[in-house]
């Protein structure tokens, strides 16, 4: 596998950005540095916002909100319909930019843009269904109902690993719900954010949406904090590490703002004796090694019955040893080659050096805790790309679920532990601080049903005979415990972006009081 020459990557990136409506970013000077994990090199410089600029942007968004909330929901849906159309048109380019900036393989970069299109479709339909209940009143001549009203300015903070989808999950619903959106993307994925904002600006221009309805604030934690602390931001929807959530949550709570948290996961698969092992191995390898282990839903723990553990580990090891690792894109030679997938590559780079150091430290700690490294565990392609961090997905057998297994290391490390009894497997499964996604491989109906029952997995997502990663639009996405409790994208997630008003209307000539209270 080869890593592209950095200069060619820079040229391709500038061409893609220009087609997406982002022009002439400087390569030098002040500002934030946009890098690619594919080569580890710099791509461009981007303006960093100050706290004062964040305040002005939130002010403009508040003004836009006042205009937008008066536009009927189905008409607001037209903005998101236009965004969906633009995403269809630019899917190849935006998907390539995701690969360049987040290191995802071509298919996953495109998949992320498809997910944006899917949420736009869902949100357009939702724009005609922002309805509440009519409730029977105990008082004669009275009617009780609820209405859902636009909420205000929504502050979106997002992580590097889903640089475009997470914004769209929030923004598509927020816009149809009548809100304005101020987005602080990860400082590691600035260019994809600029591209999304450019597409949204074009959609807004087409439908005549108010100026300032959608805005970006760029920078690190301090810019996020300026957004978090602004009392004009009605909802903070923050996606990232549990560490970030612990910093953000008390600040928002202190001003009684609303919070939607999508934080770290430590997702497991239980593999029972009856499991279809061919299926299980495919599900496990995609969930654990795919996206180089950098999904919040990445499979990090396998809890396998002791009778099949050796067989399963041998099969995963064999699959791991053939996983092609390298640049996601076949950049080089001809203009436009950034859109071409590197033949066969399934594992791209880690996002940066800190991520690599976390991978090494976790493997050292696991082995110090009695773990055995069965496959992978090494850095590759360092000779071709000394500033990029490509690693072999690692497979480690652990005697117990020790401290390092209970922590989320955002890299491709899969820990395997055994169980003898199903209740023990469930207890081990739930005995971690995070509660995002989970799965069971079994052909035993009782085990499958028990796993997804109230007494089973304690996660927000529990799957049967598929791995924990790869959610689709339609279902509510999010998790419990240190994952933060938020739900996004499907089911009734739209309600988080609106405020509910209960209305009681008296159409009689009397004034009966509830609960039979007499007054005078």
Residue closer to ligand NAD (CB basis): 88 or 246: 246
In the complex, least distance from residue 188 CB atom to ligand NAD, rounded to whole angstroms: 6
Alpha carbon separation from 328 to 8, 19, 103, 317 (Å, rounded): 14, 21, 7, 23
Q: Could you give the string, one character per residue 159-178, with x where binding to ligand NAD holds by CB under 6 A and - elsewhere? A: xxxx----------------
Residue closer to ligand NAD (CB basis): 55 or 247: 247
Considering only 240, 283, 412, 435, the residue that binds ligand NAD (CB under 6 A) is: 240
Query: Chain-centre distance of CA 48, in angstroms?
Result: 23
Residue 354: φ, ψ to 5°: -60, -35
Burial of residue 45 (CB within 10 Å: 0-12, 13-18, 19+) is middle
Contact stretch for ligand NAD (CB under 6 A) within 52-60, 61-69, 233-241, 421-429? 233-241
Q: Could you give the string, one character per residue 198-227, with x where binding to ligand NAD holds by CB under 6 A and - elsewhere? A: ----------------------xx--xx--
Residue 338: φ, ψ to 5°: -65, -20
Contact 416, 396 (CB under 8 A): yes
Q: List the catalytic residue out of 262, 408, 482, 488.
A: 262
Residues 355-414 that bind ligand NAD (CB under 6 A): 408, 410
Token pair 């914004």 is found at: 167
Which among 300, 330, 520, 275 has a CA at the least distance from the CA of 394?
A: 300
In the complex, least distance from residue 394 CB atom to ligand NAD, rounded to whole angstroms: 18
**414 is written with which tokens?**
């899969």
Residue closer to ligand NAD (CB basis): 214 or 418: 214
Considering only 50, 241, 430, 465, the residue that binds ligand NAD (CB under 6 A) is: 241
Q: Could you give the string, one character per residue 264-293, with x where binding to ligand NAD holds by CB under 6 A and - elsewhere? A: xx----------------------------
Residue closer to ligand NAD (CB basis): 158 or 392: 158
Residues 456-495 that bind ligand NAD (CB under 6 A): 483
Residue closer to ligand NAD (CB basis): 10 or 190: 190
In the complex, least distance from residue 221 CB atom to ligand NAD, rounded to whole angstroms: 4
Contact 296, 436 (CB under 8 A): yes
101 binds ligand NAD (CB under 6 A): no
Q: Is 343 a catalytic residue?
A: no
Considering only 157, 299, 338, 391, the residue that binds ligand NAD (CB under 6 A) is: 157
Residues 490, 183: Cα–Cα separation, whole Å: 20
- Helices 73-89, 190-207: inter-axial angle, 10-degree rounding: 130
Judged by CB under 6 A, the number of residues near ligand NAD is 29
229 binds ligand NAD (CB under 6 A): no
Contact 17, 23 (CB under 8 A): yes
Contact stretch for ligand NAD (CB under 6 A) within 19-27, 157-165, 280-288, 301-309? 157-165
Contact 124, 142 (CB under 8 A): no
CA atoms within 13 A on the CB side of 158: 29
In the complex, least distance from residue 192 CB atom to ligand NAD, rounded to whole angstroms: 12
Which pairs from 17-21 meet CB under 8 Å and 24+ separation? Answer: 17/44, 17/97, 17/191, 17/194, 17/195, 19/90, 19/93, 20/90, 20/93, 20/94, 20/97, 20/195, 20/198, 20/199, 21/195, 21/198, 21/199, 21/201, 21/202
Residue closer to ligand NAD (CB basis): 194 or 309: 194
Contact stretch for ligand NAD (CB under 6 A) within 59-67, 156-164, 367-375, 392-400? 156-164
Residue closer to ligand NAD (CB basis): 14 or 54: 54
Contact 482, 434 (CB under 8 A): yes
Residue nearest to ligand NAD (CB): 224
Considering only 5, 33, 144, 247, the residue that binds ligand NAD (CB under 6 A) is: 247
Residues 406, 435: Cα–Cα separation, whole Å: 11
Residue 289: φ, ψ to 5°: -100, -25
Q: Which residues are known catalytic residues?
A: 262
Question: Which residues lie near ligand NAD (CB under 6 A)?
Answer: 157-162, 184, 186-187, 220-221, 224-225, 228, 239-241, 244, 247-248, 262-265, 296, 408, 410, 436, 483
């Amino acid at each position: 596998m080869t890593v592209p020459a950095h200069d060619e990557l820079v040229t391709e990136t500038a061409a893609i950005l220009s087609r997406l409506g982002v022009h002439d970013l400087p390569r030098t000077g002040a500002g934030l540095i946009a890098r690619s994990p594919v080569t580890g090199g710099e791509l461009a410089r981007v303006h960093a916002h100050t706290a004062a600029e964040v305040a002005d942007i939130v002010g403009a968004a508040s003004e836009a909100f006042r205009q937008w909330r008066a536009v009927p929901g189905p008409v607001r849906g037209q903005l998101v319909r236009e965004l969906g159309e633009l995403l269809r048109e630019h899917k190849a380019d935006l998907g390539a930019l995701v690969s360049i900036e987040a290191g995802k393989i071509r298919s996953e970069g495109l998949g992320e843009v498809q997910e944006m299109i899917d949420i736009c479709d869902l949100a357009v339909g939702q724009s005609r269904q922002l309805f509440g209940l009519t409730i029977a009143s105990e008082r004669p001549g009275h009617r009780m109902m609820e209405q859902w009203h636009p909420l205000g300015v929504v502050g979106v903070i997002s992580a590097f690993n889903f640089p475009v989808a997470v914004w769209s999950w929030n923004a598509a619903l927020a816009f149809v719900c009548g809100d304005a959106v101020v987005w602080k993307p990860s400082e590691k994925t600035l260019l994809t954010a600029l591209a999304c904002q450019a597409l949204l600006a074009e959609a807004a221009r087409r439908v005549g949406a108010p100026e300032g309805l959608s805005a970006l604030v760029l920078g690190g934690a301090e810019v996020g904090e300026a957004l978090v602390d602004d009392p004009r931001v009605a909802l903070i929807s923050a996606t990232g590490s549990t560490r970030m959530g612990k910093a953000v949550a008390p600040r928002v709570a202190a001003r009684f703002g609303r919070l939607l948290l999508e934080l770290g996961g430590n997702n497991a698969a239980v593999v029972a004796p009856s499991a279809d092992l061919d299926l299980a191995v495919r599900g496990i390898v995609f969930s654990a090694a795919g996206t180089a282990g950098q999904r919040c839903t990445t499979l990090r723990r396998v809890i396998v019955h002791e009778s099949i553990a050796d067989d399963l580990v041998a099969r995963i090891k064999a699959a791991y040893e053939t996983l092609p690792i390298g640049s996601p894109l076949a950049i080089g030679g001809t203009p436009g080659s950034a859109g071409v997938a590197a033949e066969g590559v399934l594992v791209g780079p880690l996002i940066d050096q800190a991520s690599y150091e976390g991978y090494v430290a976790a493997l050292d700690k696991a082995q110090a805790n009695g773990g055995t490294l069965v496959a992978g565990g090494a850095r590759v392609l360092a000779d071709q790309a000394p500033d990029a961090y490509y690693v072999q997905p690692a497979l480690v057998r652990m005697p117990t679920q020790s401290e390092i297994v209970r922590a989320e290391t955002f890299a491709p490390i899969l820990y395997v532990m055994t169980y003898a009894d199903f209740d023990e497997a469930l207890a081990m499964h739930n005995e971690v601080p995070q509660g995002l996604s989970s799965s069971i491989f079994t052909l035993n109906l009782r085990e499958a049903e028990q796993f997804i029952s109230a007494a089973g997995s304690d996660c927000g997502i529990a799957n049967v005979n598929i791995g924990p990663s790869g959610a689709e639009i339609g279902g509510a996405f999010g998790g419990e415990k240190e994952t933060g409790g938020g739900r996004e994208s499907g089911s009734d997630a739209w309600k988080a972006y609106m405020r509910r008003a209960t209305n009681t209307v008296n159409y009689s000539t009397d004034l009966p009081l509830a609960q039979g209270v007499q007054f005078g």
